[in-house]
Amino acid sequence: MRRANSLRGSWLLLFSLVALAAVGTIAWSQPSASKAPTADFRFTPSNADNNTPVVFDASLSKSPNGKIVKYEWDFDGDGKYDDTRTTALDEKLFDKSGNVRVILRVTDDKGATGTVSKYIKINEAVVVIRRTITTSTKSNKVSAGQTFRVQVQMTLNKTINGLGLDEDLPQGWTMREVNNGGGSLKKSQLQWLWPQQIKSGTVIAVIYDVFVPKTVKTGNVALVGKLTSFSPRFLIKVVGDTTVQVV
């Protein structure tokens, strides 16, 4: 009997707690210092491949009683944050295709955190293309009169007939070919052509050196390029390193 009473007492307590929790949002709307922020993000495009930088927008995150001051991103789901920002936007070019787990942790100005994770699907591109710029400094900085090296690597995931790589340098900048990757260079257009059939699985690396003119304005300079194929027909923008900073 005593046991039954105490059981009934427990149930009553539980019901009271549930009832209180149900109206809690209204009854206890008093702000408290320990309210954690809620992390949330969206990303575009939703059907990216591994040549397409994905833009992440964490502005859906909310802090009920403060301001979000830090956004940390784990772009491969390994639990280690790969990038830290003070603003909500970030961008990532994924090398691998498949389902990737992306984790966002937000921190408010009181030090409280909120975390969310989402899976995003990265498709495998027909040709995965990457430009790598190597300068004498780690941060892709160059000075007037200097030389830097550019490598464009293409990994074919399909057999391709007739391939063309077209790179563009700023006006007055010149280049010297280091490795043609089996293609033939049309120097006036900075264009390499492979008229033959190239089998799926082939990796092509084109390497060239760029000479920065002796008189040049400081600032960021863009390198633009595209890869085109006759069959299957496509046009892919060259991604990876896309700027050097003239200092």
Positions touching Ca ion (CB under 5 A) are 74, 76, 78, 80, 82
CB of 209 vs Ca ion, minimal distance in Å: 34
Residue 244 sits at the vertex; the CA angle it makes with 240 and 247, to the nearest 5 degrees, is 160
For Ca ion, the closer of residues 74 and 90 by Cβ is: 74
110: left (phi over 0), alpha (psi -120 to 50) or beta: alpha
Strands 243-246 and 141-142: parallel
Please identify, using beta-carbon distances, which residue of 103 and 169 lies nearer to Ca ion. 103
Closest to Ca ion by CB, 91 vs 109, is 91
Cβ at position 73, least distance to Ca ion in Å: 8
Look at residues 210, 226, 220 and name the one whose alpha carbon lies nearest to residue 243.
Answer: 220
Q: How far is CA 180 from CA 177, 206, 210, in A?
A: 7, 5, 15
Residue 78 C-beta: closest distance to Ca ion, Å: 4
Question: In angstroms, rounded to a whole number, what is the distance separating the alpha carbons of residues 58 and 71?
Answer: 8
Q: Nearest approach, Cβ of 80 to Ca ion (angstroms)?
A: 4
The residue among 94 and 208 lying less far from Ca ion, judged by its C-beta, is: 94
